[in-house]
Amino acid sequence: MKSPIRIAVTGATGQICYNLLYRIAAGDMLGKDQPVILQLHDITEAQSAFDGIVMELYDCAFPLLTEVVTTDNPEVAFENADIALLVGARPRGENMERKDLLAANSPIFISQGKALNTSAKRNVKVLVVGNPANTNAYITLKNAPDIDPANFSAMLRLDHNRALSQVALKLQMPVSDVKRIIVWGNHSSTQFPDLSHALVGNDKVTSLITDTAWVNNHFIPVVQKRGAAIIEARHGKSSAASAANAIINHMQDWIFGTRENDWVSMGVPSNGCYGIPSGVIYSFPVTCREGQYTIVENLVTSQSDQARMQQSYQELIAEQEAIKHLLT
Ligand code: NAD
Ligand code: LMR
């Protein structure tokens, strides 16, 4: 029997986590032979909501679920954590832009960065989901100076999965046949879903979809604005089942590796490639092996694609500027 892996999850009484915790405990993220300890965090006011969640976790009789901890103290939640899923934040409501959330959410990620630095394992893998996810990941990383920046990521996997599905639907092909999609940049409407390197089997997607109007007027805006469309369709609630699924996909690929001849999109600290200055948490195509990701570099990008990539970078820089005074 393997020893259990400690998974800290924040915002654990929220709607994403109601779709996430049971799948983690069932082995969907780390495998059917990997015991897990769930270390669940939420704010003090939300503690009573843990009662039902924990009862249901035990009522599932998951063979892999070794222990469940609930707390309102981030240092307790992150203690010796191998994995930290930072989901807790105020969700974006209708007519709210992500940057409106910056002021409300920055203090959460400052204190959680500090708590990770104090109590998590030094090789903890951190995924920030709470919006605005890229800048929240940046804030967390800056407040955890003793943990390698390469261990921090922001979730763009939901955008990546949305892009895969749009192409599969258009071509009437199984989604698993679509590879090498990229979503560049920020998890916001400035992100750039890019088909120029995508493949279906050995065929370039751009040779199968020659209708550039579909790409520019349907594919790109649908993926960019899908989060807002879901909020409208769900009467103010943001995506939860698909977000939970994307968390599982992101962590699974990071830990166990990406598919042959494929890559995924992850928000990670830039190393300066593609004209995106170092440090900013930006979504790039990455391959993963043995628990490490590598940015796929030297892909040829057109001038118009570079302009879109820069636009998302500029938004991230503006977000960083807005919280700069909080990081000193
Ligand atoms: P939710 O409102 O159901 O849950 C949010 C949780 O965060 C609640 O349990 C709440 O108590 C907790 N919380 C609030 N303030 C907190 C604080 N100060 N410290 C710690 N926890 C706090 O929201 P949800 O639908 O589960 O979404 C969670 C976050 O994920 C939101 O920010 C949402 O915008 C974001 N999201 C991101 C993606 C992505 O692809 N990156 C996709 C969907 C949703
Ligand atoms: C999503 O992409 O579904 C969410 O990030 C939307 C949001 O703003 O909560």
| Domain CATH number, residue 219 | 3.90.110.10
Task: List CB contacts of 248: < 8 A, sequence separation 6 or more.
Answer: 20, 23, 24, 28, 29
Ligand 2, atom 4, lies closest to the CA of 227
Q: Which residues line ligand 2 (CB under 6 A)?
A: 91-92, 131, 158, 227, 230, 238-239
Domain residues for the domain of 234 are 157-320
Residues 207-249: tens digit of each pLDDT? 999 999 999 999 999 999 999 999 999 998 999 999 999 999 9
Does residue 186 sit in the same domain as residue 260?
Answer: yes
Which of 105, 138, 153 delimits the end of a domain? 153
Higher pLDDT, 92 or 328: 328
Task: Give the pairing of strands 203-204 and 36-41.
Answer: unpaired
Identified catalytic residue from 41, 160, 187, 197: 187
pLDDT, residue 92, reads: 66
**Helices 15-25, 50-59: crossing angle, 10 deg rounding:** 30
DSSP string computed for 88-132: -SPPP-TT--TTHHHHHHHHHHHHHHHHHHHHS-TT-EEEE-SSS
Does residue 85 sit in the same domain as residue 47?
Answer: yes
C-alpha 16 to ligand 2 mean position (Å): 11
Does residue 174 sit in the same domain as residue 64?
Answer: no
Which of 153, 174, 192 delimits the end of a domain? 153
Q: pTM of the entire structure?
A: 0.97
- In a domain, residue 326? The reply is no
ipTM for this model: 0.99
Does residue 244 sit in the same domain as residue 165?
Answer: yes
Residues 25-40 have a mean pLDDT of 98
SS3 readout for 30-44? CCCCCCEEEEEECCH
Residue 250 exposure: Cα atoms within 13 Å on the Cβ side: 31
Instruction: Give the number of the atom of ligand 1 that is nearest the alpha carbon of residue 157.
Output: 40
- For residue 228, count other CB atoms closer than 10 A to its CB: 18
Whether the pLDDT of residue 103 is over 90: the answer is no
Q: What are the strands of the beta sheet with 203-204, ordered from one edge?
A: 178-179, 199-200, 203-204
Residues 251-295: tens digit of each pLDDT? 999 999 999 999 999 999 999 999 999 999 999 999 999 999 999
Instruction: Report the binding-site residues for substrate.
Output: 92, 98, 131, 162
C-alpha 250 to ligand 2 mean position (Å): 16
- In a domain, residue 325? The reply is no
Which of 123, 153, 183 delimits the end of a domain? 153
Phi, psi of 179 (to 5 degrees): -135, 165
174 — alpha (psi -120 to 50), left (phi > 0) or beta?
beta
Does residue 256 sit in the same domain as residue 304?
Answer: yes
Give the number of domains in the chain: 2
- In a domain, residue 258? The reply is yes
> To 5 degrees, how large is the angle CA 133–CA 137–CA 138?
120
Tokens of 228: 């807002």
